[in-house]
Structure 1
Amino acid sequence: MDRKQHQNVQESGTSSTAQKVGSTDSLSAPEMGVGSLLESLSENTKQGLADEIPLLEGESVKGIDPDVTYLCPYGVPIRGTLTVTNYKLYFRSQDREHPLILDVPLGVCSRVEKIGGSTSKGENSYGIDIHCKDFRHLRFAHKQENHSRRQIFEKIQQYAFPITYKKPFFAFEFQGKYDVEDGWRIYDPIVEYKRQGLPTESWRITRINENYEISDSYPAILAVPTAASDDDLRHISDFRTRSRFPVLSWIHPESQATITRSSQPMVGVAGKHNKEDERYIQMIMDANAQSHKLYIMDARPFVNAVANRARGGGFESEDSYQNAELIFLDIHNIHVMRESSRKLKEECFPAIDETHWLSKIEATHWLEHIKVILAGAVRVADKVESNKTSVLVHCSDGWDRTAQLTSLAMLMLDPYYRTIRGFEVLVEKEWISFGHKFKQRVGHGEDKHSDDNRSPVFLQFIDCVWQMTKQFPNAFEFNEHFLITILDHLYSCLFGTFLYNCEMQRVKEKVSERTVSLWSFINCQMEEFTNPLYAAYVHAHVLLPVTSLRRIHLWTGYYCRWNPRMRPQEPIHLRNQGAVGAESTATKASGRATERTSLQAGSRQTTTFPSTHVRLQ
């Protein structure tokens, strides 16, 4: 596969791994009954249109409308050809010298609607409206007399929402080959626990959940206190929501202080006790010889935790869990975060209010939420590093805010996770294997845009990581492009990495056997995602970022990247490099002039900190 072509489309922030197909087979895959318009086109016309579309291995054209108008929010309407494949929506303007190209994976579509009816008046009042998960909003106008809107709309619906229409994710059709590395081998729980120094006298690795019988949302392999038998684990699991009992995430290589994670205890309104759970928490405490105390970090606001008692949940009583201190971190629930994200999208696309920009961003509360999440992770990391005290982290179910806190704290504590492969391991371990519900939170493949289960939990985590890279610009091996690529493919459904809600479902669907891993794509072109400022020897220690709002910034390189007025001007030396390069110069130039986005990070100042424990001021 041509990596250069791959890169060209990746720069658009949309489809990746693109490959032009010039054979007559490139349009042979449209299904019977694709639509009267497609069928009415001559073979030469169909072939000519298909030849202009970069297709992936396994991708095929499903519908074409050669006369559509893109209602660009930043300029005049643009006429061109709209093509729908089983993976993407592809629009190319009629201007052949400087074409505008939209290349949008259908997985990014959140809502698709028809606009206008048979009685609509006006040239551009009849068409299709597409709301995207990556902060875009696309609108296309169709000519009523062509009767083409219905078949294009239906094809977009079918392949944007394959679960609703009982079709497979495109990841199961994609046949991309990456010979450098198999991304599915990046994370091996046994190898990762051994890297952390396990097993020890105090911690062991167990396969008690190998068949997912204890907890269907936990991974098969877990690390638990040596003092706890498998029978103990079976008894205590019933006292935690979804049977997500406390297990090890990370252990300090020197002090043996740990970060463990779980769900809330099921104390209920009556304030029930569970002696087995209390004894188990004591085992976690005793496994750390440096301290006889444990901090329980409850991610929720106190009021929300109390309200959960009415639903059978709740929080630990300090009277029952002796030597444990309970701290509430005030991170709001998925519904509050979803509303904040919606408001942020409204301010970033399509129009930006220059006069009231700062006040309107403040009104979204997005940066406040990022600050609170980061501050919570700093508290976890600081207790482990400075106090040499173990920390148990949980929220309600233990797969949203808990994952944010444990993974960010581990990123602060362990420089391994700041490398490209280490970060991939971190995401696989704390998010994917431990059952963050990607399918529900992102809404993969389902036509349910108003689903209450959707929430930008993982997006907030990546935003927090970006905040850290801004404060410590030479401490991370990866660059901004790496983070944006991960988010793009969180939605694209091109790779199997983020599909489904838990490890058990992925095993059942044979995801690692039938799909390609995102890490295979990234690791075959590491130079594209490497931070040139990275200096491993400088920051081989703990990083504690400042969480004051004065140091928290809006990530315009992601949230505002579709707005041409918010893009930074490309440095002249980079522009000259692009002009010299022979490969796809026209494509790159047109991309910069239109919807294709340059993901070049701005220059960063390198700062060196001589101490082994860094806190920015």
Structure 2
Amino acid sequence: MGIGDLEEDGEDAEAGPPQPHHLPGELTVSQAEQVLRYTPYGDHKQGISGTLFCTNFKVTFITPNRPVNKVSTQRNRLVGENDIVLNNIDTVYQVSHGRRKKLFPTSGILGHVKHLEIHCKDFRVHSFSFKFTQKNEAKQVVNAIVHHAFPTRLELLFAFDYAGDTTSTEVAPCVPRYKLVEDWETEVERLEAAGYKATLCNKAFRIASSLPECLVVPRSLDNAVIGEAAPQFVEYRIPVWSYTHPGSGASLVRMADTIPEGAHRDVEEKMLSAIALSHISLKRPVVHDLSKLPVTLSDIQTSHEKLRELCMPSSRKEMLSLDANWFSRLEDTRWISVVAICLQSALRVVEDLIDKMLTVVIKEESCSDLAPVISCLVQLLVDPACRSLHGFQALVEREWVALGHHFADRCGLVTSPDTEQCPVFLLFLDCCWQLLQQFPSAFQFSEMYLAVLWDTCVPRSL
């Protein structure tokens, strides 16, 4: 960077080499100078020289002939174009003589690292060379990347270190967190759901740890009945209200499976009767059992891994080969088929909800995976408020966050062999993208917004 550039950017020429932009609570762990960054699938004969940093939040590459890592305003306000968020790293490879060696946090680097490939969950590949880097610097920065990219405990995630600025005076619509009774009552009133009530039956999470303290349940149920029925459902996840269509009076309710060996085998029937009493015409609800869909969590995970392999060829030659029959290979992943299954299931729910004016109970084992996918798609189809930016944010906060989707497990935020990973939220975003392509004028947000959400919530492969 020349003197003129420094003056233009307001930098001091004596300030030393450029440093990465830090978020509050972010610290540089290690760095290596004279690192070469190669263009993905290039010939690796020429690279851009710069400094590679590893912080407790990201890996970032800064070149001396470019502006200091400024935050991008187009895609993500937290990271720049040369940043790799640690939680977005899927695998790290040490490359030698064209062969890849996968690196693990427990293995460590003993010898000299000459070439490094970072494969990300968002299908990007970053390639670095340490040909001109001091051996100890290269080893330290690689070890830091591998160590911090694969945390073994939830408390090691950067979210626990982040110390955001709470003094901002920026005025923005407040997205309800659905922790207060008032948040749920506002939604019940908006949708004219007279047969349902907000209750603190789960206060201090005494019933279910994966449900919010405040829930919306059929008005005929009292807290004692709810507390008695909860142990008969998987993870104590009792039936909870999601939506009521003001025109038909029919509602959308989410319910977990009952435990087969439960003492009260008639508890599900009692819950369905209470839901029927909440209907304006006392109609019995129809149950959509998601276990009968021709797709499982394992199928979704396998399909996503095939999609990842298709989008991340190992060489330029392989990339050109895949491009020749891209669409047939995409079909072979079955990812598009899974998206279609979800959209078709949501449409069947809408038909019962609107055309037949029937309350629909979405039933799933724990009611926290495909249930929020279908529930959100239904509300996007029938409720224009959910297609606004603020409404969509509230929808995700309510159906995914408050009602207990297991993000840490499904997205592989923590390295553990005991959790089942599955990109359920990504599947939902892809379904939204399909709707957005068909009805672009019906949404207040664009595909760029969905892409940023995708990039911030991509699961690690097994």
Is the TM value for this pair above 0.5?
Answer: yes
SS at match of 1:460: helix
Measure how far apart 1:395 and its partner are.
1.6
Partner of 1:225: 218
Partner of 1:179: 169
Counterpart of 1:342, as a letter, is E
Q: Distance in 1 between matches of 2:10 and 2:452?
A: 24
On the 8 A contact 1:291/1:389 being kept in 2, the answer is no
Counterpart of 2:207, as a letter, is I
- Alpha carbon RMSD of aligned pairs, Å? 3.3
Counterpart of 1:191, as a letter, is D
Measure how far apart 1:229 and its partner are.
1.5
On the 8 A contact 2:18/2:64 being kept in 1, the answer is no
On the 8 A contact 1:267/1:273 being kept in 2, the answer is no
Q: Distance in 2 between matches of 1:336 and 1:201?
A: 39
Aligned residue pairs, count = 415
Q: Which has the higher contact order (CA 8 A, sep 6+)?
A: 1
Partner of 1:285: 276
Q: Normalized against structure 2, the TM-score is what?
A: 0.81
Q: Distance in 2 between matches of 1:216 and 1:202?
A: 26
Partner of 1:333: 296
Partner of 1:381: 350
Does 1:64 pair with 2:31? yes
Counterpart of 1:280, as a letter, is M
Partner of 1:547: none
On the 8 A contact 2:232/2:264 being kept in 1, the answer is no
Partner of 1:298: 289
- The 3 A distance-change label for structure 1 pair 408 and 236 is same
On the 8 A contact 2:90/2:119 being kept in 1, the answer is yes
Query: Among 47, 50, 66, which residue is 2:18 paired with?
Result: 50
On the 8 A contact 2:241/2:253 being kept in 1, the answer is yes
SS at match of 1:147: helix
On the 8 A contact 1:298/1:393 being kept in 2, the answer is yes
Measure how far apart 1:245 and its partner are.
1.2
Measure how far apart 1:200 and its partner are.
5.7
Identity of paired residues, percent?
Answer: 26
Q: Distance in 2 between matches of 1:49 and 1:280?
A: 65
On the 8 A contact 1:111/1:447 being kept in 2, the answer is no
Gaps of 5+ in 1: 1-19, 25-43, 302-328, 493-617
Measure how far apart 1:168 and its partner are.
4.8
Q: Distance in 1 between matches of 2:431 and 2:388?
A: 16
Partner of 1:369: 338
Q: Distance in 2 between matches of 1:360 and 1:335?
A: 20
Partner of 2:310: 347
Counterpart of 1:334, as a letter, is L
* Residues 237-282 of structure 1: CA deviation (Å, up to 9, x unaligned): 12210111111111121332110002112236xx986223312211
Q: Distance in 1 between matches of 2:175 and 2:30?
A: 37
Q: Distance in 2 between matches of 1:165 and 1:300?
A: 30
Q: Distance in 1 between matches of 2:12 and 2:239?
A: 56
Counterpart of 1:132, as a letter, is C
Measure how far apart 1:173 and its partner are.
2.3
Counterpart of 2:393, as a letter, is E
Q: Normalized against structure 1, the TM-score is what?
A: 0.61
- The 3 A distance-change label for structure 1 pair 164 and 254 is closer
Q: Distance in 2 between matches of 1:21 and 1:116?
A: 42
Does 1:161 pair with 2:150? yes
* Residues 89-119 of structure 1: CA deviation (Å, up to 9, x unaligned): 112456659x9963211121123343449x9
Matches within 5 A, 1:414-425: 414-425=383-394
- The 3 A distance-change label for structure 1 pair 129 and 447 is farther
- The 3 A distance-change label for structure 1 pair 274 and 447 is closer
On the 8 A contact 1:83/1:89 being kept in 2, the answer is yes
* Residues 525-571 of structure 1: CA deviation (Å, up to 9, x unaligned): xxxxxxxxxxxxxxxxxxxxxxxxxxxxxxxxxxxxxxxxxxxxxxx
Q: Distance in 2 between matches of 1:411 and 1:422?
A: 10
* Residues 274-324 of structure 1: CA deviation (Å, up to 9, x unaligned): 2233122111012213362321111123xxxxxxxxxxxxxxxxxxxxxxx
On the 8 A contact 2:195/2:219 being kept in 1, the answer is yes
Does 1:249 pair with 2:242? yes
